[in-house]
Structures are given as structure tokens and as C-alpha cells.
Amino acid sequence: MSSLPAHRHGALRRLYRSSPRLRRSVRLAKNHLTFELVRLAMWHIGRRPLDDALVLADRIGDAILWVSPGTRRLALEHLTLAFGDALSPAARERIVRACFRNVARCFIEVVKFDAIRAHLDDYVTAEGRENVEAALQQQKGAIVITGHVGNWELLAAYFALKGLPVAAIARRIYAPRLNQLLVDFRSRNGVQTILRESPASSREILSVLRNNGLLAMVIDQDTQVPSVSVPFFGRRARTPAGAAALALRRDLPILAAFAQRRPGGGHRLTVTPPLHIERSGDRKRDTIELTRLLNATVEERIRANPAEWVWWHRRWRHGPTPRLDLDAEVQYSAAKETPR
């Protein structure tokens, strides 16, 4: 099959980069196509029994792995960064395939959640709910952190359906209609969504705390929020500092919760007791130390369950910053990127 000459490819790239209108048109077209594909997949999956749909999820995960060589390569690189020679090449390949299958299963479970909810206590077991209830006895709300491990959406929905007030602080997905699908899913199952980009987010967070609710935060990605560089698998990784900063400023209990697939199907959820550091009185130093502890807690869970984390995320995207970059003290865009 013929292809465009190299100089024409270069001209098209320059045109794309120099034209905001063209970039917007391409982005809108991609978003529309993605939404329609997701909607078609949801319709097809919705017609299948849950067990059959989960079998299909593995095939979907394998297909995505096959058509995404760049993502697969990135995941393998990150596994090497994290584990070094402790994992053989074959073990890394198995973990990456399992990761893609897990994400496909998470999607299936969201689509088929009505079927799961009908026998929720058979599909999900939970350990540590007493830790949440003890934290809420202080009557000032609490923070629960987690990572993109297992099915984090099911994790929040389960506790909300069990009567705990849960609000998830989340980033708006790039495609508005896909974002609304996810927000609607949470809402149907009792989980409030607080979008970080919303001008009302601070007011919504305070309202949740005043009503003795749980603020759920995912802290295992390098995103454009106030962050601090702390160790993650032996390398410094920029980590959102909001959970630690808020817990320290308002003296809130902070716990960690995780989902893990059971060998026979379904999930086991676990909630830790509150996580503590010895406070120094220096809020920035304490925020760094508490974020370090939270990061270590997430890392420990990923080490125990590497097949269910999203290894293709550029977790070590930026090099360490010399000081905490809260409140725009250090601009995110100024962080030096590490080679990838």
C-alpha cells in the first residue's frame, strides 16, 4: 500500500500543530467516534449474561493489547523500571496481558453493574469497614485514598451502596459524553462526583466534610495538580499532595482502600486503619512525609497485585522537584522531564 512522501507527512504535521481549529476538529471527531464505539460495546455487552461478558472481556483485552504496540511497550518499560531483573521477560509479558484484561473486565463490570448489584454480597467481600466507621465517629469526615488497582469504580460504588456517604474527586475525562456516562454511573450507585476542574469543587469538598462524608481520591498518577516528588518503586514520582494537605490542614483521618480480584471471580475489598505520621509542626514537611506514606501504601498493594495496575501510565513522567509545589510555587510545566 502506498504512503505519503516524508515531506508531505511533515507538512501535514506542521499544519496540524499550527491550526487550533484543525486540532479541535480532529479531537471532536475522535471523541465522537470513541463515544459511539463505547456505546455500541455497551449495547452488545448488555445483551449478554455477566459470566459470558467477563469471558468476552479477556478477548477484548487481548485485542487491545495486539492493536496497541506502543502502549504494550510502555507498560513493559515501566515494569522493568519498577522491578528490574526481579521479573523475567516472560513474567513481564504475562503481567501486561493481565493488565489489559483487567481494564476490559472493569469496563464490563461497570456496564453489567445492575446484574452485579442484584447479588452484591456474593460478588464482593469487604474487610475493614469497621475502620471507616470508626473514622466517621469523629464527625468531621474522612479521606480514603486508592490507586488504579483492581476495579476502583466498583470499590466506591460498593461502599456507597452499603450506606456510606462517598464523594469521588475526579478529573474530567477528555470526551464530555464519556465523562457524563461515568458520572451517571457513579450517581446511580450513590457516589457523588466532584470534578477537580469545577469552580465549585472547593465548596463541594467542604460540604462533604461538613456532612461527615468520605472523600475518595486516586493518587497514583502524575497529573496537573499540586504535587510532591516522593519515592515510588525506588524512583521519585510526582504525586498529588491534595489528600495529605487536606488531611493535615483539617485534622482528618485518612485511610487507604483497594480492590483485588478473587481467583474464583468477584472482588475482595480491603480498607486499612487510619494512616499516621509523627507531625513536625512544619506543614510542608508533614505534607511531604504523609504523601510519602500514602505512596508507599499504594506501592505495597501494587507489588502484591501487579497484574491489576495500569502499567502504561507515565508514572515517572517528570523528574523530582526540589521543594513542594503547592499553590503554584513551582509551575507544573517547569518540571524537567526524565527520558522515556
- Reported as a single tens digit per residue, the pLDDT across 285-321 is 899 999 999 999 999 999 999 999 999 999 998 765 5
Helix (H) or strand (E) holding 145: strand 142-146
Q: What are phi and psi of 337, to 5 degrees?
A: -80, 145
- Above 60 in pLDDT, residue 334? no
Beta bridge partners of 214: 142, 166
What is the Cα gyration radius of the chain? 21
- Reported as a single tens digit per residue, the pLDDT across 54-65 is 999 999 999 999
- Above 80 in pLDDT, residue 240? yes
Cβ neighbours of residue 309 closer than 8 Å, sequence gap 6 or more: 99, 147, 148, 149, 220, 302
- Characterize 141-156 residue by residue with b for buried, 16 or more Cβ atoms within 10 angstroms of its Cβ, and e for exposed: bbbbbbbbbbbbbbbb
Percent of the chain with pLDDT over 70: 84
Using 50, 70 and 90 to split pLDDT, how confident is the model at 197?
A: confident
- Above 70 in pLDDT, residue 269? yes
Using 50, 70 and 90 to split pLDDT, how confident is the model at 40?
A: confident
Could you write out the DSSP letters of every residue in 229-258? Answer: EEEETTEEEEEE-HHHHHHHHHT--EEEEE
Cα maximum dimension of the chain: 68
- Above 90 in pLDDT, residue 102? yes
User: Which cell goes with 257?
Assistant: 482502600
Tell me how far CA of residue 3 lies from CA of 12, 182, 294, in angstroms.
13, 39, 50
Q: How far apart are CA 23 and CA 26, in angstroms?
A: 5
Cβ neighbours of residue 51 closer than 8 Å, sequence gap 6 or more: none
Cβ neighbours of residue 138 closer than 8 Å, sequence gap 6 or more: 253
- In this structure, the dihedral spanned by the alpha carbons of residues 250, 218, 124 and 96, taken in order and rounded to 10 degrees, is -160
Cβ neighbours of residue 281 closer than 8 Å, sequence gap 6 or more: none
> Which one has a higher pLDDT value, 258 or 12?
258
Q: How far apart are CA 334 and CA 340, in angstroms?
A: 17
Residues across the chain: 340
How does strand 235-240 pair with strand 227-232? antiparallel
Give just the sign of the alpha carbon dihedral 205, 211, 212, 218: negative
> Which one has a higher pLDDT value, 333 or 80?
80
- Above 50 in pLDDT, residue 20? yes
